[in-house]
Amino acid sequence: MKAGIEGKADVLALWAPNTYTMQEKHGYEMFCNANDFKAGIYNAVITGREYAKNQPESVKAFLAVMMRSINWIKANPQQAQAFFVSNAKKEGVEVSANAAKSDYELRPLFNLDEQLQVMGGSPEKLNDSPAGRSFFSINVFLTEGKAGSRSMRPQSFIDISFMQRLKADPKLSAFANSR
C-alpha cells in the first residue's frame, strides 16, 4: 500500500477499507472485485476445537447474537454505515461515509437461513456449497507452493452443526431472526 500512496504502483491488490482509501485519496480505480468473478465474500467465525467441544452453548449463543446483528445491519444500513465510520476512526482507520456505503454494497451479509443456504444446508453438502468452494479456493491460494502443505476441504475445518443447532433452538433462533 505504501507504494500506492507514493504513486509508485500501477496495480494494487487490496481489501476494504484500504481499497476505498486508495480510490478516494490517491485516485486509483477499482477494475475488479470478488463479485466480478462470482467469488463469494464470506465471513468466518473461528474458535478453538476444545472451546467448541466444551462450550457448544456459548458458541451457539454467540452465533445468535451475530445473526441478530446482521439482521439489524440489513434493516438499518445508514446507521450501520455511520457506526462503521465512527468505530474505524476510534481505531485510527479513516473510512469515509462513501467507503462504508460501498463496502456494504459489495460485501453480502447473510441472515441465519441465508447462511445455512450458502453453506449447503448440511455437512455433507458443505464442500460443494458456495461458501465451501470459496473457502477451499482461499485455502489453495494460501497453501499453494509451500513445502509440505496441502489444501484441505472445507468440511475438515468448518463445522456447520453450530448453525444447524441454532436454527433448531426455538428461543435462540427467534432471537437470531429478530432485529
Residues 136 and 106 both lie in one domain: yes
Residues 85 and 103 both lie in one domain: yes
Count of CB atoms situated within 10 Å of the CB of 108: 14
Query: pLDDT digits over 60-116, tens only?
Result: 999 999 999 999 999 999 999 999 999 989 998 888 999 899 888 888 899 999 999
What is the pTM for the complete model shown? 0.81
Q: How far is CA 104 from the centre of its chain?
A: 11
Query: What pLDDT band is residue 145 in, cutting at 50, 70 and 90?
Result: low
Residues 89 and 129 both lie in one domain: yes
pLDDT for position 149: 65
Q: Provide the domain limits for residue 87.
A: 38-176
The 3-state secondary structure of the chain reads CHHHHCCCCCCCCCCCCHHHHHHHHHCCCCCCCHHHHCCCCCCCCCCCHHHHHHCHHHHHHHHHHHHHHHHHHHHCHHHHHHHHHHHHHHCCCCCCHHHHHHHHHHCCCCCHHHHHHHCCCCHHHHCCCHHHHHHHHHHHHHHCCCCCCCCCCHHHCCCCHHHHHHHHCHHHHHHHCCC
Lookup: cell for 7: 504513486
Amino acid identity, position 136? F
pLDDT for position 15: 78
| Lowest-pLDDT choice from 32-46, 97-111, 128-142 | 32-46
> What distance in Å separates the CA atoms of residue 70 and residue 41, rounded to the nearest whole number?
15
pLDDT for position 54: 97
> Between 15 and 38, whose confidence is greater?
15
Residues 71 and 23 both lie in one domain: no
Residues 2 and 88 both lie in one domain: no
pLDDT for position 1: 66
Q: CA 55, 166, 47: angle at the middle one, nearest 5?
A: 40
Residues 89 and 130 both lie in one domain: yes
Amino acid identity, position 71? N
Averaged pLDDT score across all residues of the chain: 87
